[in-house]
Structure 1
Amino acid sequence: MSIRPNPTVGSFTAMLLLALLWGLSIPITKLGLLTLPPLTLTALRFAIAVPLMFVFVVGKQRLPLRALPRIAALGVLGIGIGQVAQTFGVVDTSASAATIISATIPLFVVLFAAMRLRQPVSGLQILGLVAAFIGIALVASDRGDAASAVAQTSLGGAALVLLSAVTIAFYYVWSVELTDQYGTAAVAAWSTLFGFVALLPWAGWEMWHVPFQMTATGLGTAVYLGVVVTVLGLFLWLHLLRTVPARIAAGIQYLQPVVGVAAASVMFGDNLGMFFILGIALVLGGLALTVTTRGS
């Protein structure tokens, strides 16, 4: 296993910026879903992201044909399952609940990194995993203010967001293996393209059957998710995973729920019940144990 150095001031700043940008993604997605259906919003997001990603690839990095099947599978996993599950999950969860559940992505990154990149996992990290799952259950069971429709969270919606967290985390770890062989820009761009192509038939069906109106809010959401979260965020994250230890890169990301919950409270007036607050404490505590403790 290669040894990665501790973060520099520049990489630490990049991690803080990423926590802010990604922390806002769930509340902004929730905002976009007020005017656009889930698959349409997801397709529009990646229609914006894909051309921008290939700006960093054309004439610079090439993929051998033998790599395409794995890159295609990576894209279908990350977008066709991960991003679609997240968007559908956000429909049936409050922005705050979805943010907390999505915050477990770094936890699963550490777990999968231990499995595939041979990074050790300690007993305390396993304890952190259990605590975080208990926290997720409490967050999903909290209903906030019953009079507020936007504050409602269904168990099905929470399960979809959790499925998204698992698949996206595996996408990131698998990406590290492939970027070591073929380069960050090429893997990110081609996997996103394959995932987008796989999504198009389903998005087309939705656009044909579900009436919607393109608004400035919906378009602005797609631009933020496409440019900031997908392009800038993904390149930052993959760069960090290649330059600092996974547990450190993932550790700083547990600031995401702080950003997301604060934004959700301002944007949607999400009410935080006792179970929700206890769940936040368990998730954040579990994440802290999982991503900051060195393996024995």
Structure 2
Amino acid sequence: MRAHLGMLLWALIVGASFPAVGFLSDGLPPLLLTALRFAIAALAMVPMVRGREDWRPSLPALALYAVMGLCLAGFFGIMFWAAHRVTALSMSALFVTMPLIAYGLGRMLGVEPRAGGLLAILGLGALGALALAMAQTGGDLAQLQFGWNEVLFFVGCIASALYPVLSKWGLARNLLSKDAAARTFWSLAGGGMLIALAGVTFEPVDALSRMQMGDVLLVAYLGVFSSGVTFWLMQRGTGVLTPGAVTAYSYLVPFVSMVVLFVTRPQLIGWHWLPGSLMVIAAIVTLLKRGSGVASRPVGQTG
């Protein structure tokens, strides 16, 4: 239950961070900003991992952390690339498949048990999140498009879904540290270096000089909380929950963003937001009840 509550906090932090990103100055390079966020997040993990016996990974573990970092870099890199090429509704429709993908990949790698109840929860949450996306666009189905740009974004969603699956797989085989902070540090460090390399290659580095003090403070906040704390909570949840259950909390992110939007712009409140909100809330409540009523399985014991 503590892992479920941690993932609930994860959704609250991530959902509240999306509106905060809008306060950054225009024209700043997104990949380099993300690399900076990851660097700050990794540094914030250092006090938590220093002195841990197993925080220094073996060579096989380092290779797995590199693949996990590639998953993070792939998702964020593709997401920024797709931001101006894929409609918001299409991105939302593809993103809601991520928990179902995580469940399928987890089944393939033997870290996810067969669970019809969880599949039903994931389906309900996906419908709710998609309904919220439809409400945000005013029900304009013309924005729902699928082409090669959308295919590439879907590849990024697969990479994001693979991250907790690989974490669970590495834990089950005693490759990765049992400490969530150590796993967070190494995956963020690996992902941050890859994103930084992409940023230096494709973005103007001197654009960072346009950052104002408010931008620096906001990036520091996003680095520590929206990246560091959230990835630590995800790794903490992955140690107890299955990949499908961990990623299911991504359905709550658009709901939290909607609440923040209503607080700042109450004139946007309308009945069209209600169906998706109810479905997302029902899915998360059911997931919490399922977590409190079912004993957690040991890592690697999937039945």
Q: TM-score normalised to the size of structure 1?
A: 0.70
Deviates more, 1:103-112 or 1:137-146: 137-146
Q: Give the 3 Å change call, closer, same or farther, for CA 196–135 of structure 1 in structure 2.
A: closer
Structure 1 residue runs without a partner (length 5+): 1-6, 147-152
Number of the residue aligned with 1:42: 34
**Mapped contact 1:141–1:275 kept (Cα < 8 A):** yes
**Mapped contact 1:125–1:289 kept (Cα < 8 A):** no
Please, which of 58, 66, 80 is the counterpart of residue 64 of structure 1? 58
Q: Distance in 2 between matches of 1:24 and 1:103?
A: 18
Q: Distance in 2 between matches of 1:289 and 1:18?
A: 17
Q: Deviations over 1:182-209 (max 9, x none)?
A: 2133332222212211222332241347
Number of the residue aligned with 1:150: none
Q: How does 1:1-296 map to 2 (within 5 A)?
A: 7=1, 10-32=2-24, 34=26, 36-60=28-52, 61-78=55-72, 80-89=73-82, 102=95, 105-116=98-109, 117-122=111-116, 125=119, 129=123, 132=126, 136=130, 139=133, 143-144=137-138, 163-179=155-171, 180-183=174-177, 184-204=180-200, 205-208=202-205, 213-244=210-241, 248-251=245-248, 254-266=251-263
Deviates more, 1:281-290 or 1:245-254: 281-290
Deviates more, 1:285-294 or 1:80-89: 285-294
Paired residues, number: 282
Q: Give the 3 Å change call, closer, same or farther, for CA 283–11 of structure 1 in structure 2.
A: closer
RMSD across aligned positions (CA): 4.6
State the Cα distance separating 1:250 from its structure 2 match: 4.7
Q: Give the 3 Å change call, closer, same or farther, for CA 45–72 of structure 1 in structure 2.
A: same
Q: Distance in 2 between matches of 1:257 and 1:41?
A: 22
Deviates more, 1:82-91 or 1:16-25: 82-91
Number of the residue aligned with 1:4: none
Identity %: 24
Q: Distance in 1 between matches of 2:144 and 2:215?
A: 24
Letter in 2 for 1:76: L
Q: Distance in 1 between matches of 2:116 and 2:170?
A: 26
Q: Deviations over 1:88-112 (max 9, x none)?
A: 4556789899778656544443333
**Mapped contact 2:95–2:154 kept (Cα < 8 A):** yes
